[in-house]
Amino acid sequence: MNHFEYINGVLHAEGVSIPEMAEKVGTPFFCYSTATLERHYNVYADAFEGLDATVCFAVKANSNQAVLKTLANLGAGADVVSVGEMRRALRAGIDPAKIIFSGVGKADAEMREALEAGIAQINVESIPELVELNRVAIDMGTKARIALRINPHVDAKTHEKIATGKAENKFGIDWTRAIEVYRDAAAMDGIEVTGIAMHIGSQLTDLTPFREAFTRLADLVEQLRSEGIEIRNLDLGGGLGIAYQGETPPLPDAYGQMVRETVGHLGCHITLEPGRLIAGNAGIMVSRVMYIKDGEAKRFVILDAAMNDLIRPTLYSAYHEIIPVDEQGEDDVQATVDVVGPVCETGDTFGKDRKLPDDLKAGDLVAVMSAGAYGAVMSSTYNTRALTPEVLVKGNNFAIVRPRQEIDQLINMDQIPAWLGNS
């Protein structure tokens, strides 16, 4: 469910018309619904009622501080994978005791800043990283609270570029070596072993891989406890999918029940890291038609948005529904079109063979749906295209929460050395 609906024939975000925002903000832009963010967070959190659990939003999905603040006000923590994301979370008011630092490679400076901030836990993903974190913690005169991220060798049956739990993936420590690495970690002076972390992939639409991974994790907890290594925290990661194109992913309630069945008996604090599930359908990208181009074999709808604004279709062949902002009637004629951007890449394509109004013309607005996760946060300035603004809606009000970058701002970041002379 989301709060983007047609009202009197015009697409609205909650109580605000999309054309009204487009007139004031310009296009393209990303638009987020507060009501949808809040609903998705609450539905997910409620699925774990009665468990000792913390929902730590995956900041990589959407790092806008207005989004983070919205979730912080609901009690959310944060899963971060860089010091930049950690700073964003802290500035948005997220309690450091609810921040988990993940990621396959953390620099010394990032380790130090995380330890100084007093965050809940650092998820360690390799033996060299463990050794380095131990050195940094000893140098600071403290102990680092850690979980080892264990790779369970489970195929999540998702896109190869977002699978993280198979043996060939770069993430985590092989589950076959987990016991020995935990023994080593427990003996380190700068390390306090607190938990186990696991994350098997993103956009999962079946609970079976989760169940397999969490069952393996539960067995590992029992083995570690038998060796005197007390595990009190379980970080189960994220990965629960959403509907982009007719998928029927499990509901949070079903996921929560599966968690209870697999690890609920262990008496551990449980950390959950949803990102896409909360933010994905809470955002859209609004773009204006620049041209309609009738080619020899195709009709192309050329938008003012491009792959630099929303890279998922190019990167993952990801599907996003594309709809006209002005509602189409049941009897209106449709045309089959490719929806593309102006960037000089064949991959700059949002959708192939899509049905859009036959009378769609330059100046009309379209909305690319389900763009609240891995949208603006993955945007770039390729082709010297300025970063796209972001807007947050609440009821009948909206605010620009990231202004449009000026091209001159972007160009002025370059510095020409003196030996090249003045232009």
Q: Is the pLDDT of residue 177 over 90?
A: no
Q: Are 34 and 14 in contact (CB under 8 A)?
A: yes
Q: What is the CA radius of gyration of the chain?
A: 23
pLDDT at 156 over 70: no
Q: What is the pLDDT of residue 160?
A: 45
Least confident of 37-51, 144-158, 363-377: 144-158
Q: Which architecture does CATH list for 32-279?
A: Alpha-Beta Barrel (3.20)
Residue 275 labeled ligand binder: yes
Dihedral (C-alpha) 266, 271, 274, 275: value to the nearest 10 degrees?
Answer: -160
312 is in an annotated binding site: yes
pLDDT for residue 154? 64
Residue with tokens 């079946």: 206
CA–CA gap between residue 299 and residue 293 (Å, rounded): 6
**Residue ranges per structural domain of the chain:** 4-23+281-411, 32-279
H or E element: which one contains 29? strand 29-33
pLDDT above 90 coverage of the chain, percent? 82
Catalytic machinery residues = 344
Lowest mean pLDDT, pick from 144-153, 167-176, 183-192, 278-287? 167-176
- The span from the CA of 220 to the CA of 363, in Å, is 58
Is 44 annotated as contributing to ligand binding?
A: no
Half-sphere exposure of 149 (CA within 13 A, CB side): 25
32 in a known ligand binding site: no
Is 276 annotated to bind a ligand? Reply is: yes
Average pLDDT, the chain: 92
The reported pLDDT for the residue numbered 153 is 66
| Banded model confidence at residue 325, pLDDT cuts 50, 70, 90 | very high
Ligand-binding annotation for 406, yes or no, is no
For 4-23+281-411, CATH number? 2.40.37.10
The residue with tokens 């993280």 is 164
* CA distances, 203 to each of 155, 242, 274, 275, 329 (Å): 13, 7, 10, 10, 33
274 is in an annotated binding site: yes
**Does 162 have pLDDT greater than 60?**
no
Domains 4-23+281-411 and 32-279 share a fold: no
Name the residue among 26, 19, 11, 28 with its Cα closest to residue 341: 28
Residue 199: pLDDT band (50, 70, 90) is confident
